[in-house]
Structure 1
Amino acid sequence: MEVITETLVICACLVFGGVVIKRKLHRKPWETLPDDVMEIILPHLCVRDRIRLSIVCKPWSSVSMRSDIPSAPRLPWLILPQSSPNYLSYFELSEGKSGRLELPEPVPGGWFQGSSKGWMIMVMEKDLDSTMFLVNPISGAQQQLPPLSTAPCFQKEVETARWKRYGASAFCFSVVLSTSDITSHQFMVAATFGETDRLCLYKPGDRKWTILEVLDANECITDLLFSSGKLYALVISHNKNGVISSPRNLKFGDHAVELKLVYDKIPRNNDSFEEYDDYLVHLKGATDSHLVESNY
């Protein structure tokens, strides 16, 4: 009887000791690294490594998703043609790897239209009720933009065969952000839609796009870019090739932005033939110009 009692006491101690050890191990000291230490580490990590870091534990997730801490400079991800409305496939140039990015709610069902300042532009296509979102691929944060029904010529666009075939990709030509911090007072979105002869602006709180006439007759905007606090618009013109306009100050609500128009020549279509032994190759295409911001 005494032997049995001692055995039970030892077992109880082992079980209790196991609980104590488990509790001590559960308090992982690396979970409570000071934020200032994490702020030193994060700028040396690429986007992929920050995503990996965010799933280690909750404290690390909240810090690694902070948009005010930049990632290490890397080559951009290339978004592959979207085959599903529920995820995006991409190719990472720096590592030579492809991956899949699941779209957060309520974005599944949306289609990728481009990116700006680290945010993806997504459109949920529902004809006249179509909506546009900004989605952060790292944190999953979202910002809804004004309905496309408030953009120029949209009601006419959804009635065309082009909309039925290509959707928003044939309507949303350029959408750019002024800053990656969507909570900043300086945050705004510039866009061109449809016939691209008008500039559309948005600031937080707006329920519709502000539409501005900034071009002369027979001109159109082909690209937009925010750089150093200014908005640049690439404009196709018949007689102003190579000209950069004087800056003009655009005001809408309590926001203002300096606009510069960069004039480009009308693109030419390339149409030629090449002969190879017993067959003929018809080469046909066009060249497009774009605005690019240099980091140097």
Structure 2
Amino acid sequence: MTLDANYLRGTMAAIFSILQHSTCPENMEFHFLWARFDREVFSSIKSTFPSLNFKFYRFDSSRVRGKISKSIRQSLDQPLNYARIYLADIIPSDVKRVIYLDSDLVVVDDIAKLWEVDLENRVLAAPEYCHANFTYYFSNLFWLDPVLAKTFQGRRPCYFNTGVMVVDLEKWRQGQLTQKVEEWMTVQKQKRIYHLGSLPPFLLVLAGNIKGVDHRWNQHGLGGDNMEGKCRSLHPGPISLLHWSGKGKPWLRLDSRKPCIVDHLWAPYDLYRSSMHALEE
């Protein structure tokens, strides 16, 4: 996970939800990536979860600052949003596998079930959404370029959300995937082939070559679309993880007293709100 003062409330809720639903929380180790040192953020994690097994790593924003292209939402352009590309470079080599999680989600099942997924020799596992219009994630310039359009030749590419991923760091390093993602970011700077931040270069490198897992592990889009963040309903089916990807964040909507129905599913894990109520009493 990444650590950002603006998303700390979400991060705390995510951690709390994971611990609450884990059969063996003592077996978990959390790895946090930060770009700007904030003593309050660090102390909040330590004081709230004194028994948590965790490590902090600095993400050097200069690695991506010159590679980021303006997207449709400013928050998608923050360097820390690209830190997931560099997990294999930052986390020590003795760590073989990680689950990467965004900060705007809660887990309502034992995350060990996701950890134990068989990657079947793939680099990455995540829920795939093959019904989604894949062409939407790239510009007309991309699809009209005969060379670029051949990128997915021999693959059956499907959209996957990079906010929940099981990653084999060894295979990522062996395949030099960080460099491959960066190469597409360079193309983007030159030709403007997509509009959605760090997601499209992941799709360009990996779509069609990942291990698909049950959709229950990423009930995403609860934050609405990227422009207005309008309320959305839950998708049908079982749920193990709720993800407020999109513009709307549950803590902001709850504070504004204009929550969506799904935001009340996040509220029980909101430690900030609980502490405020305790102070008021």
- Per the normalisation by structure 2, the TM-score is 0.25
- Greater helix fraction, Structure 1 or Structure 2: 2
Rg bigger for which structure? 1
